[in-house]
């Protein structure tokens, strides 16, 4: 006799009758044609007892309903379309999407965001790796590691729903994979969480440099911990999650439900997502608070000792760069933390689903915007100085192309030197280096 189970969650609200009442139809044959015959028998059974609602609550065999869910979409009959099992024609709602156009929008929103992150992270890697001096500093080494794992995250999210099992009964739009491809995507999405732990290391770096006054040679002594701990935790969690990766509508990762019985199982979400993310958010926020306190304290001291004003100004520049990296982190991960913590139902608001699909892969692009911020500021200052110099020369009646007087040369020189100093202040790495040598 087949094991009897409650199919309310297993069949997503549909009910199968007891196989004993199916006139000898025996479940167990994996052939699709046999499954379709059984589905037709179920349809006839339901029609024969239209007024007996209790009959719909009869338990069903695990073999029959699981196979119906897995292969029912291949059946071209009215019973499939009536919603007993999910089919390609059935309007299966998830994430608030009620049609294929909305589901496609979710997929391509995620892919567009992933492409932005892939571009941004690749730009960071190219810019740093081509500079031998930058490759040797702790700050840029941390950025390299973050960018590498952001690339992994972007590639995994770009696949979107492709790796999900194509025979999944929930009919996820764009799914063409199998259980192996789904597990692989889940592994790489989880591996991308290593970027979060490198954000913690970066926040610690800023705390040590600004609040404690550490220099590069001191930072090199803890290099093993700044890299080793994020790698150990990130890779360990990715490997540990292999048994529990499954589809989560957006892609494959940690599912808050047991796919075997439809019951809630929150421990994987807590262990692999909520706890690591929560601790990281608290660590980064605490580090940011310490950095702010350090800058504030030194700014107060600078008011008394004018000699320290330049150092205080430099620290403020470093503080703002640190703040922007933290905000880039906050764009993505606290939102994802809330989504996983709440384990939002698959019928949740569509607008929220689109937002989550966009921010999930966005970390790499957010870091890119922060990375190029000093370059943009440098460009703006250079343009302003050129305009001011040109205006001054025009007022003096001097050609900007061929300065002929000592007055023009004097103004040109005075316009140049402050700009050189200004441009050096804007680079995060030079900022820290200049400040540490000044102290």
DSSP per position, 233-296? HHHHHHHHTGGGEEE-SSSEEE-SB-TTT--B--HHHIIIIIHHHHHHHHHHHHHHHHHHHHHH
Binning pLDDT at 50, 70 and 90, where does residue 156 land?
Answer: very high
Is pLDDT at 29 greater than 50 in this prediction?
no
Binning pLDDT at 50, 70 and 90, where does residue 43 land?
Answer: low
- Local structure of 74: helix, strand or coil: helix
Poorest-pLDDT segment among 4-18, 267-281, 401-415: 4-18
DSSP 391: H
Poorest-pLDDT segment among 209-223, 251-265, 407-421: 407-421
Binning pLDDT at 50, 70 and 90, where does residue 315 land?
Answer: low
Does one domain contain both 161 and 238? Answer: yes
What is 112-150 written as a DSSP string? Answer: HHHHHHHHHHHHHHHHHHT-HHHHTSHHHHHHHHHHHHH
**Pick the residue with more confidence: 255 or 226?**
226
Is pLDDT at 101 greater than 70 in this prediction?
yes
- Local structure of 425: helix, strand or coil: helix
What is 78-95 written as a DSSP string? Answer: HHHHTTSS--SSS---BT
Distance CA(362)–CA(117), nearest Å, equals 6
Please identify, among 322, 356, 375, the residue that sits at the C-terminal boundary of a domain: 375
Assess if residue 41 is contained within a domain: yes
Distance CA(84)–CA(42), nearest Å, equals 9
Is pLDDT at 232 greater than 60 in this prediction?
yes
Binning pLDDT at 50, 70 and 90, where does residue 56 land?
Answer: very low
Q: Find the mean pLDDT for residues 6-28.
A: 39
- Local structure of 377: helix, strand or coil: helix
| Residue 265, domain CATH | 1.20.1070.10
pLDDT digits (tens, 9 = 90+) for 344-385: 555 567 888 888 888 888 888 988 988 888 888 888 888 888
Task: Identify whether the C-beta of residue 234 lies closer than 8 Å to the C-beta of residue 228.
Answer: no
Does one domain contain both 68 and 146? Answer: no
How high is the pLDDT of residue 81?
A: 40
Please identify, among 375, 395, 427, the residue that sits at the C-terminal boundary of a domain: 375
Tokens of 386: 């050129």
Range of the domain at 45: 4-81
How high is the pLDDT of residue 190?
A: 94
Does one domain contain both 39 and 183? Answer: no
Poorest-pLDDT segment among 164-173, 245-254, 299-308: 299-308
Assess if residue 432 is contained within a domain: no
Does one domain contain both 255 and 333? Answer: yes
Does one domain contain both 54 and 123? Answer: no
Q: Find the mean pLDDT for residues 170-176.
A: 79
Task: Identify whether the C-beta of residue 32 lies closer than 8 Å to the C-beta of residue 75.
Answer: yes
Assess if residue 193 is contained within a domain: yes
Distance CA(185)–CA(21), nearest Å, equals 42
Contacts 24+ apart (CB under 8 A), 379-383: 381/419, 381/422, 381/423, 381/426, 382/419, 382/423
Does one domain contain both 29 and 167? Answer: no
Assess if residue 400 is contained within a domain: no
Does one domain contain both 77 and 213? Answer: no
**Pick the residue with more confidence: 137 or 320?**
137
Mean pLDDT of the chain: 71
Does one domain contain both 63 and 114? Answer: no
Assess if residue 61 is contained within a domain: yes
Does one domain contain both 193 and 331? Answer: yes
How high is the pLDDT of residue 304?
A: 64
Please identify, among 375, 393, 419, the residue that sits at the C-terminal boundary of a domain: 375
Assess if residue 162 is contained within a domain: yes
Does one domain contain both 160 and 243? Answer: yes
Most confident of 181-185, 271-275, 290-294: 181-185
**Pick the residue with more confidence: 346 or 304?**
304
**Pick the residue with more confidence: 336 or 365?**
365
Per the structure, the count of domains in the chain is 2
Does one domain contain both 47 and 125? Answer: no
Distance CA(163)–CA(154), nearest Å, equals 15
Assess if residue 305 is contained within a domain: yes
pLDDT > 90: percent of the chain = 23
Task: Identify whether the C-beta of residue 43 lies closer than 8 Å to the C-beta of residue 77.
Answer: yes
Is pLDDT at 88 greater than 90 in this prediction?
no
**Pick the residue with more confidence: 230 or 4?**
230
Does one domain contain both 242 and 368? Answer: yes
How high is the pLDDT of residue 352?
A: 82
Assess if residue 89 is contained within a domain: no
């Amino acid at each position: 006799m087949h094991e009897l189970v409650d199919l309310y969650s297993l069949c997503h609200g549909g009910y199968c009758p007891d196989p004993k009442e199916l006139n000898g139809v025996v479940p167990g044959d994996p052939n699709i044609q046999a499954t379709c015959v059984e589905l037709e028998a179920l349809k006839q059974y339901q029609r024969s007892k239209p007024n007996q609602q209790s009959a719909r609550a009869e338990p069903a065999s695990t073999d029959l309903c699981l196979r119906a869910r897995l292969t029912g979409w291949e059946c071209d009959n009215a019973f499939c379309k009536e919603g007993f099992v999910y089919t390609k024609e059935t309007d299966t709602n998830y994430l608030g999407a009620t049609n294929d156009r909305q589901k496609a929008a979710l997929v391509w929103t995620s892919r567009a965001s992933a492409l932005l992150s892939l571009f941004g992270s690749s730009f960071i890697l190219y810019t740093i790796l081509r500079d031998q001096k930058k490759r040797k500093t702790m700050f840029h080494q941390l950025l390299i590691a973050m960018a590498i794992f952001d690339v992994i995250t972007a590639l995994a999210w770009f696949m979107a729903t492709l790796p999900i099992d194509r025979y999944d009964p929930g009919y996820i739009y764009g799914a063409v994979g199998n259980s192996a491809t789904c597990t692989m995507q889940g592994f790489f999405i989880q591996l991308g969480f290593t970027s979060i732990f490198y954000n913690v290391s970066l926040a610690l770096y800023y705390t040590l440099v600004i609040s404690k006054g550490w220099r590069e040679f001191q930072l090199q002594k803890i290099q093993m911990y700044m890299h080793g701990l994020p790698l150990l935790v990130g890779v360990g969690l990715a490997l540990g999650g292999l048994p529990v990766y499954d589809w989560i509508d957006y892609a494959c990762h940690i599912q808050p439900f047991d796919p075997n019985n439809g019951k809630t199982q929150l421990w994987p979400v807590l262990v692999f997502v909520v706890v690591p993310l929560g601790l990281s958010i608290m660590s980064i926020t605490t580090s940011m608070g310490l950095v702010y306190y350090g800058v504030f304290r030194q700014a107060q001291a600078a008011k008394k000792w004018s000699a320290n004003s330049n150092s205080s100004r430099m620290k403020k520049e470093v503080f703002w760069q640190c703040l922007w990296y933290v905000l880039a982190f906050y764009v993505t991960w606290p939102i994802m933390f809330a989504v996983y913590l709440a384990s939002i139902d698959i019928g949740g608001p569509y607008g929220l689903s689109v937002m989550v699909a966009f921010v999930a892969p966005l970390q790499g692009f957010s870091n890119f915007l922060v990375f190029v911020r000093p370059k943009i500021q440098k460009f703006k200052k250079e343009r302003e100085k050129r305009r001011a110099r040109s205006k001054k020369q025009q007022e003096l009646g001097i050609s900007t192309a061929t300065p002929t007087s000592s007055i023009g040369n004097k103004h040109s020189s005075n316009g140049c030197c402050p700009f050189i100093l200004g441009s050096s202040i804007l680079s995060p790495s030079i900022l820290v280096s200049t400040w540490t040598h000044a102290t």
